[in-house]
Amino acid sequence: MSTLFEPVAVGDLQLANRVVMAPLTRNRAPGAVPTPLMATYYSQRATAGLLVTEATPVSHQGQGYADVPGLYAPEQIAGWQIVTKSVHDAGGKIVVQLWHVGRVSHNDLQPGGGAPVAPSAIRAQTKTVLIVDGVPTFVDTSEPRALALDELPGIVKDFRQAALNAVEAGFDGVEIHAANGYLIDQFLKTGSNHRTDAYGGSIEDRARLLIEVVKAVTDAIGGGRTGIRLSPVTPANDVVDADPQPLFDHVVRQLAPMNLAYLHLIEGATGGPREIADRPFDYAALRAAYRAAGGKAAWMVNNGYDLSLAEQALKDGADLVAFGKSFIANPDLVERLRRGGPFNTPDRNTFYGGGEQGYTDYPALA
């Protein structure tokens, strides 16, 4: 049986252990440019087998929250180079999560104050973050506009270019964010996609953008350096699908021949219950569908894992386990898991925005 602390090959990456730091938005990149403080934060956590960065927009249009870092401008690439060098100097591996928020944005964050974009002009009943009088503040999202058919190749191109930028920035790979109610997930799900063209309606058509993005990214940097994040039933950011099991069975079957490094599955509600009473889903059947289609990528599980749950997941066939909030407060989480604790408690008041407090000042074990 695999153990949490043994090395593992994941695509082109050789990882020291099976513990993954999940992507965690922290809103500490003013002007969308990564900072030296971020380099300290990530390098402190470099004993994880793999670090997945906070979600990182592939374009200005893809931004939905204030002070998140981008990966589409030269100064952003230069900022990330400092981060990746710091992580590599500490012996770690790091991939960047490529993000387009779609409708989960605000006019103030969009180029020229325009409307956020979406599969269909349906407003997300959720919040985003603006800086108001110097303070991160939750506000309602703005009314989106539906993307025109001829705009979609540009979205795909933005993901491809961001993947190339990631290589230039020194990342070991990328994770495509297709989860949590953001743009790709909005296209997948019936509640947010009411299109009647080639990108809406049937499962095959709703999955089209996802497949095009993955093909573009893997063609650019290789499948062995590409992962993808999926969330079949999370209600995050007001997304819902009428019948998610066949939808995601189709998605993973399409991904199987692409030789990806890993599939990152959020089980249940992001940051909430692992099982949702009115949204049942069979994750074991999903993994079986992927393997039956010839998929060999590492299977990463995520949502509320502790050591006991992680060990059981590995017994049940998972390859990697992602930990989120526990990495915020425990930079040396791998060693704390190995020892069975103790664990620092995260300060929720410092999750979003600010400086060192609640970011780089959590103590490590002696």
Which residue bears the tokens 């409708």? 103
Is it true that the peptide bond before 363 is cis, omega within 30 degrees of 0?
no
Give the strand pairing for 320-323 and 298-302. parallel
Q: Which residues contact 366 (CB under 8 A, 6 or more apart)?
A: none
Distance CA 130, CA 132 (A): 6
Amino acid at 9: A
State how far the alpha carbon of 357 is from the alpha carbons of 31, 138, 279, 361, in Å: 20, 20, 38, 6
DSSP character string of 334-364: HHHHHHT---PPP-GGGSSS-SSTTTT-PPP
Distance CA 252, CA 263 (A): 9
Residue 182 annotated among the catalytic residues of the structure:
yes
Q: Which residues contact 122 (CB under 8 A, 6 or more apart)?
A: 103, 144, 191, 192, 194
Amino acid at 5: F
Longest dimension (CA), the chain: 60
Q: Which residues pair with 300 in a beta bridge?
A: 264, 320
CA 41 to chain centre: 18
Q: Which of 65, 182, 262, 290 is catalytic?
A: 182
| Phi, psi dihedrals of residue 138, rounded to the nearest 5° | -80, 130
Residues with a known catalytic role: 182
